[in-house]
Structure 1
Amino acid sequence: MATIIPPTVDEQYSEPGVFTKFPGEGLPDIKRYITTHDKNGEGVFLPHDNGAHHSLMANGRGVQNIIYSTTGDQVDLEDDADMIRARDMQPGIHEPHGTVFRMIDFAPGVTSPLHRAMSIDYGTVIEGEFEIGLDSGETRIMRRGDVLVQRATVHQWTNLSPDKPARMLFVLLDVKPLKPINGKEISQDLGPLKHDFGADH
């Protein structure tokens, strides 16, 4: 199992990674299907695409695809308000009082920096094999179909393959602030990843 060593900013970003766009090289493109209602109130499909917001992460070591995002405790579907907002606004790592549906492609052998978002993350391995590591030193191996409920802990991801890309799918939900635990502040810290999430700059 990999030892958890937070990469320095220089190590993480000094040389360009292998990815230049979504999907990451070696991974399949996706189809995003969205439903709505026709003039008779019946369900219909909109034309499919592969997401509205794609951006490189960690200087090409990863690429994210924001599949959808929402705001508010109850999402406003009237006049397609939610779709317009999801199309026009790229969220940060998570959306305050909302949700983010995100896919991330990881280049071969990549380890993310240690980071914490103030969110619950539902993570599913779509392709490849990952190690999820926590700041305590605990780790788990996750394979295709394995799922994680990540509750605002400091963590990092490692694509365990030295020569194949890998893919994760996440749904992120906002959480209330946490009280300090034994004097330790529990707050958002994205480290070098803060540069990769538009609303968190």
Structure 2
Amino acid sequence: MDNTDNRPPNPTQASPLPGLTTHITTNSPHDGKAVIHSSKPAQWTHLFNSTMAFNLIYTNTVPPNVNTLDDVEAHEHLVESGGPGLTVSGGTVCRIVDFGPSAEPVMHRTQSLDFGVVLEGAVELILDGGEGERRLCRRGDVVVQRGTNHAWKNVTPNDGWARMLFVLQASEKITAGEKSLEEDVEHAGEEGDRLKQKM
């Protein structure tokens, strides 16, 4: 086994964290045995003066059809055309996000059910319910984000970078009582537009 900490960053990566590779599997149409379809290094999109970076891993519809390579081709076409927004209507998005030590927390809500896993460093979850609605998340911690307004703050010691894995599944319209809670990334300004359109 190689020492994964020695993996050099990807060519498009801003952080000093280990580089990443996405491996996609499929079933052989000849005998049904599992095989590797492709292995590709991560491609990063930088935001907020390169203090934050997104690596789009995969997108798909729900439920996915994995009997052909149509889903792989649809994902590749989506990436080539600029990528999805933060979510995919009627589908899922899997991405990894690197947060630099000076990355500003961006309050936002997506119309989705999200799973956020801390892979490197430490991150503070900030909710808009007040000071008591914050949680320190360390490597291995998981946040199940149920359509709530939230932000992530990198609190890794020694000005280190943090890395999180996110899986976002499109949800039904979000409400609280009679109030409709809309998707919102407006607080991010111009970069908010990029978050909505090209991640």
When normalised by structure 1's length, the TM-score is 0.81
| Correspondence for 1:112 | 105
- What is the CA deviation profile of residues 86-110 of structure 1, one whole-angstrom value per residue up to 9, with x for unaligned ones? 1110111011110000100001142
Gaps of 5+ in 1: 1-20
**2:29 is aligned with 1:42:** no
SS at match of 2:75: helix
Conserved 8 A contact 1:35-1:43: yes
The question of whether the paired residues in 2 share the 8 Å contact of 1:23 and 1:105 is answered with: no
Query: Distance in 1 between the 2:198 and 2:56 partners?
Result: 15
Q: Is the 8 A contact 1:22 1:63 kept in 2?
A: no
Q: 2:73 aligned with 1:77, yes or no?
A: no
Counterparts of 1:13-92 in structure 2, within 5 Å, are 22-38=12-28, 39-51=30-42, 54-71=44-61, 73-89=62-78, 90-92=83-85
Distance 1:54 1:116 in 2: 22
Which residue of structure 1 lines up, in the alignment, with residue 119 of structure 2? Answer: 126
SS in 2 for 1:60: coil
Task: State whether structure 2 residue 134 is matched by structure 1 residue 139.
Answer: yes
Count matched residues. Answer: 179
CA distance in 1, matches of 2:174, 2:50: 33
Offset from partner CA, 1:21-50 (integer Å, 9 cap, x none): 743321111121111122322110123112
2:192 corresponds to = 194
| Distance in structure 2 (CA, Å) of the matches to 1:31 and 1:144 | 20
Match of 2:94 in 1: 101
Residue 162 (structure 2) aligns with: 166
CA deviation profile, 1:51-101 (whole Å, cap 9, x unmatched): 4x5311223120100100002x32233430000111110111011110000
| Maintained 8 Å contact 1:121/1:171 | yes
Among the aligned pairs, what percent are the same residue?
A: 33
TM, length-normalised to structure 2: 0.81
1:163 shift after superposition: 1.3
Task: Note the residue ranges of structure 2 that are not aligned, 5 or more in a row.
Answer: 1-10
Distance of 1:101 and 1:115 partners within structure 2:
18
